Structure 1
């Protein structure tokens, strides 16, 4: 992205959208015959036990990857809500987190969403969380990760070196040119870049999850949680800025 400019949010948003669409490709897409709403039995027959949101190709062997952006293979483009086999080994469905999910109640054991909820307006996010709770089996686990507002506030106030380390990490990963070093820029970019709509700390996440009917909400560490196979989906790149939260769904949550 030669025209990348951190200090032009609108232009950067357009470039990131173009980059995202260019990355949403695979070698082979096979549409499956199973029809929505998907129930636990039909998903299990495919080996699917859970859903990873904002992932075209999940690393979980029993995961269904999903994203709002369609996945492409040659002239084949995914259709909303339909299930596909990706490259002969994983499954994908194009899903909109702001719309009802095409699954029966209790269809999956787990749901994972890394750095997604901050992209959804707060009222729509609570509606999505209600849908997630509905499709989870009783006792099923939702794992959410998102940038931690408290981490940014503390670094802005205390000048603890986090901003500098985070800039170096993104630069080493090849994410754009060097970020401006001004503390106010580092704080503002959390709110105004990447399409972010609402930024959370633990209490704000617990509030949203409580509104959605989750009664058991736990703060976790990087790649630590109730289900190690799901926690293992955490990616290293942004773990320095991320808060990890798990919630228990279904009847066992006490709601």
Structure 2
């Protein structure tokens, strides 16, 4: 493959896909449960909620999940099944474009950081509807995603946001330094990393209301602040400056 070039989104997508597959490894997989997964089965496993787009969650009662399966040298996680990974964390390979293998009202919270922008609006809305289905009454959904408004402001004002973002990507070791051109910094949000649909608060509130959550219940939160501190604490500092944090609590009806 040719030398890294920020101006070639398809090539970078191939690199990122290969990086994810190489990273999704562990030493031991122990299958614990198969679908359908109801509330009782999840509680028996010690699971109260699901963290999407994670191979391992920091939450002690989480089921981590990702579309990329985990693998050992001689085994790979099958879709929808729950595994104990390396004797501790729980994981299930899940595709958010497909129905989730959980019963209605089976979890108390769902968390997803920088996930919904990787699928189309229709697939994202379908996933949000599935999340609403599996949440118990009073359950909390917390979604974080790049804030389109922040990028628009960065482009228009030429402020410090883009330079901070370039520095963060460099510190993460993701390729050579990004170009400093404002147009590049704006375009990379759309065309790199496999992004499919970008959101501001109004657009995300629309998707949530289309999925069945009342628009008036959708609220914007601060970093690591929300209805459930244990869930809000999953926010990562690495993405703080570009992210929007949005929550909704499922009503009893």
Give the match for residue 113 of structure 1: 112
Deviation at 1:2, TM superposition (A): 8.5
Give the match for residue 74 of structure 2: 75
Flag as ranges the 4+ runs of structure 1 deviating above 6 A. none
Write the deviation string for residues 14-33 of structure 1: whole angstroms up to 9, x where unpaired. 0000000000011211011x
Instruction: Look up the SS of the partner of 1:79 in the other structure.
Output: coil
In 2, Cα distance between equivalents of 1:27 and 1:146: 31
Deviation at 1:51, TM superposition (A): 0.3
TM-score (normalizing by structure 2): 0.96
Matches within 5 A, 1:58-137: 58-137=57-136
The number of equivalent residue pairs is 251
Give the match for residue 218 of structure 1: 219
Deviation at 1:177, TM superposition (A): 0.8
In 2, Cα distance between equivalents of 1:230 and 1:4: 36
- Asked whether the equivalents of residues 57 and 63 of structure 2 are also in contact (C-alpha less than 8 Å), the reply is yes
Matches within 5 A, 1:171-250: 171-215=170-214, 216-249=217-250
- Asked whether the equivalents of residues 34 and 80 of structure 2 are also in contact (C-alpha less than 8 Å), the reply is no
Deviation at 1:173, TM superposition (A): 2.5
In 1, Cα distance between equivalents of 2:102 and 2:171: 40
Write the deviation string for residues 193-233 of structure 1: whole angstroms up to 9, x where unpaired. 00000000001010000011112111011111111111111
TM-score (normalizing by structure 1): 0.96
Structure 2: runs of 5+ lacking an equivalent: none
- Asked whether the equivalents of residues 141 and 249 of structure 2 are also in contact (C-alpha less than 8 Å), the reply is yes
In 2, Cα distance between equivalents of 1:231 and 1:88: 26
Give the match for residue 5 of structure 2: 5
Matches within 5 A, 1:153-164: 153-164=152-163
Instruction: Look up the SS of the partner of 1:177 in the other structure.
Output: coil
In 2, Cα distance between equivalents of 1:28 and 1:109: 28
Give the match for residue 23 of structure 1: 23
Aligned-residue RMSD, C-alpha: 1.2
Instruction: Look up the SS of the partner of 1:237 in the other structure.
Output: helix
Write the deviation string for residues 87-140 of structure 1: whole angstroms up to 9, x where unpaired. 111111111100000000000000000000000100111111000000000010
